[in-house]
Amino acid sequence: MKSRFGLMLLGVVGYAGVLTAQAKPLAPRLKVFISIDMEGLAGVVTNADVSSNGQDYGHFRAIMAAEANAAIDGAFRAGATEVLVRDSHGSKENMLPNDVDPRARLLRGLSIGPKNMMEGIDSTYSAVVFVGYHAKAGTPDAILEHTSTGNVVDFSVNGISLPEGGYNSIVAGMYGVPVVFVAGDRAVVDQIRGMVGPIEGVAVKEEIGDASNGLSPKSAQEAIRKGVEAAVRNRAKYKPYKMAGPYTMVLKVKTERPLYPGAVRVAAGEVTFSSPDFFAILSAFNAMK
């Protein structure tokens, strides 16, 4: 029979063990943000491929979901605890919710704020991934190259001509989050690396005489899965892309829109706008593009 003292001692030790277990620190969150467009998906070569009234849109919509799921899986294999996918093409209603890996959340639909393709990003994220991206307007040897809309000739800030992945990288950098991976055609992979540094990337295709020479969708998905896993595991290697303010935008367009308050028309089809706030720059850009 145990003595009263022994029982009391066991009780104290047991209680201390409970406290120790309760005090065990929680594993840190690892949140990954995925922005996915369509023009840079495997096999896409014409505007009809990525237009909701295109004959093969349903086919490429399925490829979009598959490339997103490959990126999601790669992120979770690298230890992600949360993944948010931002549908970033056109009306932002391309990804069907039931097609997305259930471990991730999906942000779909147009948003009224300036973040647009980066809606949902904040400082709690550890890495940003671009999938299905394309090069900026005027880029040679690129597939379906454009900047936001077909009306934009060039969009530059502080003298740097920016593709969509460029200004989206600045948005991520404002929250201290690095872009760690990009997938799309060879031109956009080279373009984004030229801006943010030698991040992980997968060129799923390359342009040859306006045609697409590329990987099969299955091969592209496997490469994206492996690339995202490596990028997220090695995220400490990559630095957020920063651009110091104040900011001056020069926007060149084919057809002029009404001037945003504070914008100045300097030539036919060319306007400037300045602000210490990069989100104000994006708001002006979105209004006049």
List, run by run, the mean pLDDT of 10-residue segments along the chain (289 residues): 44 45 70 98 98 98 98 98 98 98 98 96 98 98 97 98 98 98 98 98 97 98 98 98 97 98 98 98 98
Residue 180: CB atoms within 10 Å: 30
**Residue 22: per-residue pLDDT:** 58
Q: Tell me which CATH code domain 31-151+161-237 carries.
A: 3.40.50.10780
**Residue 26: per-residue pLDDT:** 66
**Residue 23: per-residue pLDDT:** 54
Residue 141's alpha-carbon distances to 28, 129, 190, 199, in angstroms, are 43, 23, 11, 21
3-state SS of 258-288? CCCCCCEEEECCEEEEEECCHHHHHHHHHHH
**Residue 99: per-residue pLDDT:** 97
- Report domain extents, the chain: 31-151+161-237, 247-288
pTM of the model as a whole: 0.91
**Residue 230: per-residue pLDDT:** 98
